[in-house]
């Protein structure tokens, strides 16, 4: 039997319930603010991953939803692996904002707070608007701010066209 080589966990429908997968401080345009504290979302995600890992029959399990923890994510992630809650860590938004984080962590300095993802949702907004590549508008504004603006302009034009 082929089996499942690993499990990557997701929750809800990210377009309409982004707080389930991506606890954040600022919501996507058109989405209400999260109905819960982002820390609660981080905890729920990790508890779900832990339950999946217990049932996974030895297949590796990937966790995510740690970007909101910013510079505290690496020690939390290490604890999750050490305690058997998961086997691998996914850093999506954090990787956009801070691509040098693995080097900084491995060199023993941890993550620099001023380089971390600020969970503003602008990277996700670019992808939701469908006009650009995902990337960090805050930390790499020369590249991604124009894409963000283009997406927001296109979304506004679509809304105006619908009203006509």
Q: What is the mean pLDDT of residues 34-44?
A: 97
Span 124-144, pLDDT tens digits: 999 989 887 889 999 999 999
Span 57-89, pLDDT tens digits: 889 999 999 999 999 999 999 999 999 999 999
Strand, helix or coil at 77?
helix
Two tokens, residue 94: 């954090």
Q: Is the dihedral of CA 43, 94, 96, 32 positive or negative?
A: positive
> Side by side, which strands form the sheet with 7-8?
7-8, 61-63, 88-89
| pLDDT of 2 | 65
Span 88-102, pLDDT tens digits: 999 999 999 999 999
| pLDDT of 1 | 45
pTM reported for the whole predicted model = 0.89
Per domain, the residue ranges of the chain are 1-118, 121-164
Q: What is the mean pLDDT of residues 38-58?
A: 96
Would you tell me how many other CB atoms lie within 10 Å of the CB of residue 53? Answer: 22
Contacts of 11 (CB under 8 A, 6+ apart): 17, 20, 21, 44, 45, 48
Residue 56 confidence (pLDDT) above 50: yes
């Amino acid at each position: 039997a082929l089996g499942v080589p690993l499990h990557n966990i997701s929750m809800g429908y990210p377009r309409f319930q982004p707080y389930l997968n991506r606890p954040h401080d600022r919501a996507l345009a058109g989405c209400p603010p999260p109905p819960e504290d982002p820390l609660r979302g981080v905890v729920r995600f990790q508890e779900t991953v832990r339950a999946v890992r217990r049932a996974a029959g030895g297949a590796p399990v990937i966790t995510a939803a740690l970007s909101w923890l910013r510079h505290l994510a690496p020690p939390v992630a290490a604890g999750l692996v050490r305690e058997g809650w998961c086997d691998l860590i996914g850093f999506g938004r954090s990787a956009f904002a801070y691509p040098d984080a693995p080097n900084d962590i491995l060199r023993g300095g941890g993550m620099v707070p001023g380089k971390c993802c600020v969970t503003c949702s602008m990277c996700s907004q670019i992808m939701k608007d469908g006009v650009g590549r995902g990337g960090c508008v805050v930390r790499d504004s020369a590249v991604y701010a124009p894409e963000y603006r283009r997406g927001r302009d296109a979304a506004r034009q679509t809304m105006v066209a619908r009203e006509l």
